[in-house]
Structure 1
Amino acid sequence: MYSSSNSSSTTLTVSQLNRQVAQLLEQQLGRIWVEGEISNFTSAASGHWYFTIKDDRAAVKAVMFRGRAARVGFMPKAGEKYRFYAAVTMYEPRGDYQLQVESMERAGIGDLHAQFEQLKNKLAAAGLFDAEHKKPLRPMPRRVGVVTSLAAAALRDVVTTMQRRAPHVQVYIYPAAVQGAESAQQLCLALGQAIADNQVDTLLLVRGGGSLEDLWSFNDEHLARLIYASPIPIISGVGHETDFTIADFVADVRAPTPTAAAELCCTSHAQSNADLLGVLRRLQQCQDRILERASLRLDRTTARLVSPQQRLGQMRQRLHLTEQRLQSVSVLHRKQQQLDHAWHRLRRCLPDIRPMKQRVHELPLRLLQSQLLVLRQKKQALHVAEHTLDALSPSAVLDRGYAIVRNDNGAIIKNSLDVNANEQLQIQLAQGHLLVKLKQKHDLL
């Protein structure tokens, strides 16, 4: 390694100097942890990642080779903050030192991204992103305004697309810087001028792709509120399809690219011609249907027209039919009179049925009275039979002091010859039963 003791006597080439500086960096620093925000991120076709790590005061270039990048597990985003484990190296041909990142992990969202999320949440809560506030686009505008930089490739894309798709539409350009410290203010002035002129039907706010820092002027709060208050519909076409800015959320329509914004702002010339031809075809079809219906009505009207002679013949025929109907009415009138006369004669011959009706009304009452009388007599006879039956029942006999004697089999004993001494007997009383054993019996001689 080169030392100060022989610095005055040794002359180094640039390659030797860079090599010794590289060795010094590797020996003194080795592998370290670095925290910072990613910008200018590029994923090469080879699979290597190239980016810049920065904070608010400095920046350093970094590379992460394909094998290590494949093990990260996520795709880094510009504007976000990470922690990197890297070796400090020098690219000797240019004398630039850089970090060879071996691994990385999330360390939180970067400052710009944090500001973006904070402003996005604030404007969303204020209703600037609400769909009901979005203004519809005019399908066939006559004049279109473009707010962008005169040197931007986005302007060339928009003008080329408009000339190809809709050459009949006039394009008004309101120039403004789209990147840098004063770009947000210039964008507000240009957009305000376009709104004040009120010369266009649709406004395009466009810019090409870039990092979060490059697109930062489109995240300005004043610009967002100006877009929200614009009476003219605004299409935002900022960056590429994956880029989002505050202007995209506030605009009435968000296009993924400037070219797409030019395509969305109006119907193409070819499509307009096709639509016009379609309208003409439908108009011709409607006209043909109207003529066909008119022709049918004319044919029906012509068919109903008749000559005076034919009309007179029809009227004579109707008159003849009317006379016949009048004659029929006269015959019917006479028949009706004969019927009425026969009806009166029939009524005089009818018998007087009122007494019979009275008798019929009385018969149910008499029948009911007879039924009640018979029922009362039957109840009295039943009551007498019940008393007679009660007097002859065994229970009534038992109540007078008698008893019923049965053997073990339950047979009633009527003769002393039917039992033997020491035989068990059952005696039924009016109240309860007795179980006795016969000691002695006396037979009747």
Structure 2
Amino acid sequence: MLTDSADPAYAAPPVLTVTALNQQVARLLERTFPLVWIGGEISNFTRAASGHWYFTLKDDAAQVRAVMFRSRAQFAGFQPREGDKVEVRALVTLYGARGDYQINVEAIRRAGVGQLFEAFLRLKERLGAMGLFDPERKRALPLFARAIGIVTSPQAAALRDVLTALRRRAPHVRVILYPAPVQGQGAAERIAQAIRTASARAEVDVLLVCRGGGSIEDLWSFNEEVVAHAIVGASMPVISGVGHETDFTIADFSADLRAATPTAAAELAATAHADWFASLRGDALDLHRAMQRQLAEANQGLDNL
């Protein structure tokens, strides 16, 4: 009897190289698991000289190796540390040279940020439907403010920036601080109360609500509904100057005007000292010309008698 190997019609099965096997497994993984979000804890984090990040993502029962290439890592916004809880958007694949299953990370964020952003969008939509963000509701800023109020923390770097800008632009303007913590437990209610206090006292012409930059968690007090209602209910125009240029909060949409930074908020609130005098000189010139015109018309009228 002939065995299969001795059968002339028998074709030997193809023999894969290790490289070909790993390539096929990688393609299978990538097709089966498109980009997915994965949550876990950072371990064994290394930033290579190339700028690539290598780390392990783990939970209580398992772990997986991860790489985030420099082209993606440079846009992360933060560098994770050992023990950080994060969420990564990654492609499940295989590193062929070692035959190791791993994930290639496209984006990374701190754990919980996704839920916070979804909560932000839901509140923004609801308050927008209530009319809090309507352009028709926005109030114009006074051309020449005599007193400016600031709602922020006395320890905040933003306060120093605002005061420096106001001293430079308008040293004659009176400044009143309505202190409030800008992050942490109960901060949103304290911010809202400071705004209500400024509104009730009615001693300033415009109110700045500000703090420096930070993560979405750091800025979250300015995404609370109680702050939005306090801003809308204020008796004077409100400028929000929360975070950096790329940061947006519910307070920004509620305010009469949004500034990119606390310093920019101060510059919008206070007309520069030189501009005051330029405006006064312009007004004086207009008055002079009006008087000259009236005198000339009166003289011409006398000549026609």
What is the Cα deviation at residue 82 of structure 1? Answer: 3.6
Q: Map Cα deviations across residues 196-245 of structure 1 (whole Å, 9 max, x no partner).
A: 21111111001111110110000011111111111211100001111000
From the superposition, tell whether residues 220 and 288 of structure 1 become closer, same or farther in structure 2 (CA, over 3 Å): same
Code of the residue aligned with 1:279 in structure 2: it is: D
Match of 1:124 in 2: 128
Match of 1:144 in 2: 148
Relative to structure 2, which stretch is displaced further, 128-137 or 241-250?
A: 128-137
Q: Is the 8 A contact 2:113 2:216 kept in 1?
A: no
Match of 2:168 in 1: 164
Match of 1:269 in 2: 273
**SS of residue paired to 2:270:** coil
- 1:35 maps onto 2:38 in alignment: yes
What is the Cα deviation at residue 298 of structure 1? Answer: 2.1
Unaligned runs of 5+ residues in structure 1 are 1-32, 39-45, 56-61, 88-99, 302-445
Match of 1:102 in 2: 104
Match of 1:220 in 2: 224
* Rounded Cα–Cα distance in structure 2 between residues aligned with 1:50 and 1:141: 54
**SS of residue paired to 1:35:** strand
What is the Cα deviation at residue 84 of structure 1? Answer: 3.5
- 1:282 maps onto 2:289 in alignment: no
* Rounded Cα–Cα distance in structure 1 between residues aligned with 2:239 and 2:265: 6
From the superposition, tell whether residues 105 and 175 of structure 1 become closer, same or farther in structure 2 (CA, over 3 Å): closer
Code of the residue aligned with 2:289 in structure 1: it is: Q
- 1:111 maps onto 2:103 in alignment: no
From the superposition, tell whether residues 286 and 66 of structure 1 become closer, same or farther in structure 2 (CA, over 3 Å): same
What is the Cα deviation at residue 136 of structure 1? Answer: 1.5
Code of the residue aligned with 1:83 in structure 2: it is: R
Q: Is the 8 A contact 2:53 2:69 kept in 1?
A: yes
Match of 2:185 in 1: 181
Identity %, equivalent residues: 51
* Rounded Cα–Cα distance in structure 1 between residues aligned with 2:213 and 2:204: 26
Deviating beyond 3 angstroms after TM superposition, the runs of 4 or more aligned structure 1 residues are 46-51, 62-65, 67-70, 75-78, 84-87, 105-109
**SS of residue paired to 1:83:** strand
- 1:205 maps onto 2:209 in alignment: yes
Alpha-carbon RMSD: 3.4
Unaligned runs of 5+ residues in structure 2 are 1-35, 42-49, 60-65, 79-85, 94-101
* Rounded Cα–Cα distance in structure 2 between residues aligned with 1:68 and 1:235: 35
What is the Cα deviation at residue 54 of structure 1? Answer: 11
* Rounded Cα–Cα distance in structure 2 between residues aligned with 1:50 and 1:268: 51
**SS of residue paired to 2:287:** helix
**SS of residue paired to 1:129:** coil
What is the Cα deviation at residue 81 of structure 1? Answer: 5.1
Code of the residue aligned with 2:203 in structure 1: it is: Q
* Rounded Cα–Cα distance in structure 2 between residues aligned with 1:119 and 1:232: 24
- 1:242 maps onto 2:246 in alignment: yes
Q: Is the 8 A contact 2:92 2:104 kept in 1?
A: yes
From the superposition, tell whether residues 37 and 175 of structure 1 become closer, same or farther in structure 2 (CA, over 3 Å): farther
* Rounded Cα–Cα distance in structure 2 between residues aligned with 1:76 and 1:37: 17
What is the Cα deviation at residue 280 of structure 1? Answer: 0.8
Between the two structures, name the one with larger relative contact order (CA 8 Å, sep ≥ 6).
Answer: 2
What is the Cα deviation at residue 173 of structure 1? Answer: 0.2
From the superposition, tell whether residues 212 and 50 of structure 1 become closer, same or farther in structure 2 (CA, over 3 Å): farther
Q: Is the 8 A contact 2:76 2:107 kept in 1?
A: no
Q: Which of 261, 264, 288 is the equivalent residue of 1:260?
A: 264
- 1:229 maps onto 2:233 in alignment: yes
- 1:84 maps onto 2:90 in alignment: yes
Larger Rg: 1
Code of the residue aligned with 1:255 in structure 2: it is: A
How many residues matched?
A: 238
* Rounded Cα–Cα distance in structure 2 between residues aligned with 1:277 and 1:207: 36
Match of 1:377 in 2: none
What is the Cα deviation at residue 193 of structure 1? Answer: 1.4
* Rounded Cα–Cα distance in structure 2 between residues aligned with 1:63 and 1:189: 46
Q: Is the 8 A contact 1:36 1:83 kept in 2?
A: no
What is the Cα deviation at residue 182 of structure 1? Answer: 2.2
Give the TM-score, by structure 1 length.
Answer: 0.48
What is the Cα deviation at residue 284 of structure 1? Answer: 1.0
